[in-house]
Structure 1
Amino acid sequence: MVERVLGVLGGMGPLASAQFMVRLTLLTPAGRDQDHLPAILWSDPRVPDRTAARLGSGEDPLPALLRGIRGLEAAGCGAIAIPCNTAHGWFGPMQAATRLPILHIVEAAAAELRRLGVAPGRIGLMGTAATLAMRLYQDRLGAGGWDCLTPSAEAMQRLVTPGIALVKANRVAEAHAPLAEAARDLARQGARAVVLGCTEIPLGIAAGPALPFPVVDTIDALARAAIGWARG
């Protein structure tokens, strides 16, 4: 029988991992402590920058990711969630290195699109430059009928990348304006919903007024997937 203890491979960044634990708790239907999902957070901010690595200018993060996976295995976890989108660029070698199932954040986002009633068609996608370059979302969501519209190079440089950096620097309130502007721009171009494909982005978006169109918070999506796994 699978032990229903969730391992959380985090620290990328630390605030997103902490928010994942908060949302995991708040989204779980529970009347007492014992109704919640046992979880172990491995939060290691020393993992080399995933975007820099994927774009060819930084150290390979895979050894650090595998170290965390081994720690979660040793702690008795039954599955692993990774609240970092760009780290999923190493999903294949991570999954190959462990007997534990790793919950894929893009599959969780697709389930969230269905839950929100977003029919196949044009949607917006925001994320780090590396996540977009690796087509983590475009290919998987495209197979489900969603056509992903991404920010322009100018919007990435002026709005999205600085917004993500502000969240990582704990300047969350300042991140709202640039990130919300980028999301609204995608909606103006015909996106019926926007997937926030970086776990820093939902934190910045939530720091100001709600957007007037559906957004997929990939922190929440992954938390829902984890709760579904725990319930068998």
Structure 2
Amino acid sequence: MSSSASSVRLRPPGEHRVLGVLGGMGPLATARFYEAVVRATPADHDQLHIPTVIWSDPRIPDRTAAILGGGPSPVPAMVEGARRLEAMGAEILAMPCNTAHAFLPAVRAATGTTWVDMIGATLDRIARTGAERVGILGTRGTRAAGLYDAAAAPRGLDVFYPSDTDQSLLIDDAIGHVKSGRRLLRAERLVAAAAARLHAAGADVLIAACTELPLVLGAASRVVPVVDSLDCLASACVREVATAVV
């Protein structure tokens, strides 16, 4: 049982709602997300864990390419995946991909199921810490879509990003290494360098706003506190799916 979920009270066995995970964006992040859900669930035997169905489809078109105008829309494939999950009994849906949340309004409109919002869950956790200046480590798509900018303002948070050069040479390169499964030590060094520069620019805390980055955060987290958006989504899903209304 994780300390972050120690106060969560589960519904009785048999009353848990079914969690549906729209994954494959990317596959390794999807696998890690399911592990995070299991770890966030305060269960001491199998039957208290959350029934989960996962549709991991790496064929979904690239989200960043679509946002930047150079690729096909991922919405049809995302809607198809969500409907598959609904057909398998999912009652709550989640996407462990920050950039994909740029398309969440369109996907939500095409489905009849409640979605857990990764962006909101992450910023809610940061708002509770008292931090004010938040550095974002994510894809160019997340940055261009302004996902964190729009959600931060109502919470009194100021978000900012690496320079264009650092985004290209440090973050984009690191994400590519993680997606390929190679040169992870280099990726960790690149992320740590970006973290150090954001911290020097005044960041109180950073968000790992790409679900590949938590795999290479070791050195960066020793420079400045880093909040893992994937863990935030997992904890929010546990609260939404498994807790009784109190």
Amino acid at match of 1:148: V
How does the TM-score come out when normalised to structure 2?
A: 0.89
1:181 matched to which residue of 2?
Answer: 193
Task: Flag structure 2 segments of 5+ consecutive residues without an equivalent.
Answer: 1-14
- Tell me what 1:128 maps to: 139
Aligned-partner residue type, residue 183 of structure 1: A
**Which of 27, 42, 51 matches 1:29?**
42
Q: After TM superposition, which residue ranges in structure 1, 4 or more long, deviate above 4 angstroms? A: none
Q: CA deviation at 1:210?
A: 3.6
Q: CA deviation at 1:211?
A: 2.1
What letter matches 1:105 in structure 2? M
- Listed as ranges, the matches of 1:167-206 within 5 Å are 167-171=178-182, 172-206=184-218
Aligned residue type for 1:43: S
Q: Deviation of residue 114 (structure 1)?
A: 3.5
Q: Alignment partner of 1:154: what SS?
A: helix
Q: Which residue of 1 aligns with 2:66?
A: 53
For residues 130 and 32 of structure 2, what CA distance do their matches in structure 1 show? 25
CA–CA separation in structure 2 for the residues paired with 1:29 and 1:174: 35
SS in 1 for 2:222: coil
Letter in 1 for 2:92: A
CA contact (8 A) 1:3 1:77 kept: no
- Structure 1 regions of 5+ residues with no counterpart? none
Further displaced range: 195-204 or 61-70: 195-204
Amino-acid identity (%): 42
Aligned positions, number: 228
- Cα deviations by residue, 1:133-161 (Å, 9 ceiling, x for unpaired): 11000111122111012000000110000
Aligned counterpart, 2:149: 138
Q: 1:207-226 maps to which residues of 2 (within 5 A)?
A: 208=219, 210-226=221-237
Q: Distance in 2 between matches of 1:67 and 1:178?
A: 36
1:168 Cα deviation after fit: 0.4
Q: Deviation of residue 3 (structure 1)?
A: 6.2
Residue equivalent to 1:15: 28
Output the aligned Cα RMSD. 1.4
Give the SS at the match of 1:194. Answer: strand
Aligned counterpart, 1:97: 110
| Deviations 1:74-103 (CA, angstroms, capped at 9, x unpaired) | 001111010001111111111111111111
Aligned residue for 2:6? none
| Larger CA deviation: 27-36 vs 159-168 | 27-36
State the partner residue of 2:83.
70
Counterpart code for 2:150: D
- 1 CA distance for matches of 2:220 and 2:72? 37
2:17 aligned partner: 4
Q: What's the secondary structure of 2:159's corresponding residue?
A: strand
